[in-house]
Amino acid sequence: MDASTTGYFSFWLMVVLYFIPAILVLLTKMDRRWSKTVGFFLCIFFSWFGYLAYRMSYKPNQ
């Protein structure tokens, strides 16, 4: 894992961690239909993000 990849990953991790509280606040103010749609999208996004973190952390050094 080189420095540019680590910096890029840490930047996105920071963005996600900052946006989680804002998204949760928005979900409480939305109606149920929109919260279900956004929640489904967030599940896909976070599962993809976790998979990407797994692949990046276990990538063999080139």
This prediction has a pTM of: 0.40
User: Is 51 within the bounds of a domain?
Assistant: yes
pLDDT tens column, 20-43: 878 777 777 777 777 677 778 878
Average pLDDT, the chain: 75
User: Is 39 within the bounds of a domain?
Assistant: yes
Give dist(CA 29, CA 26) in Å, integer: 5
Number of structural domains in the chain? 1
Q: Identify which has the larger pLDDT, 30 or 19.
A: 19
User: Is 28 within the bounds of a domain?
Assistant: yes
User: Is 62 within the bounds of a domain?
Assistant: no
User: Is 44 within the bounds of a domain?
Assistant: yes
Would you give the end-to-end CA distance of the chain in angstroms? 9
User: Is 36 within the bounds of a domain?
Assistant: yes
Domain span holding position 38:
3-57
User: Is 48 within the bounds of a domain?
Assistant: yes
Average pLDDT over residues 52-60: 73
Q: What pLDDT score does 2 carry?
A: 58
Q: What pLDDT score does 12 carry?
A: 79
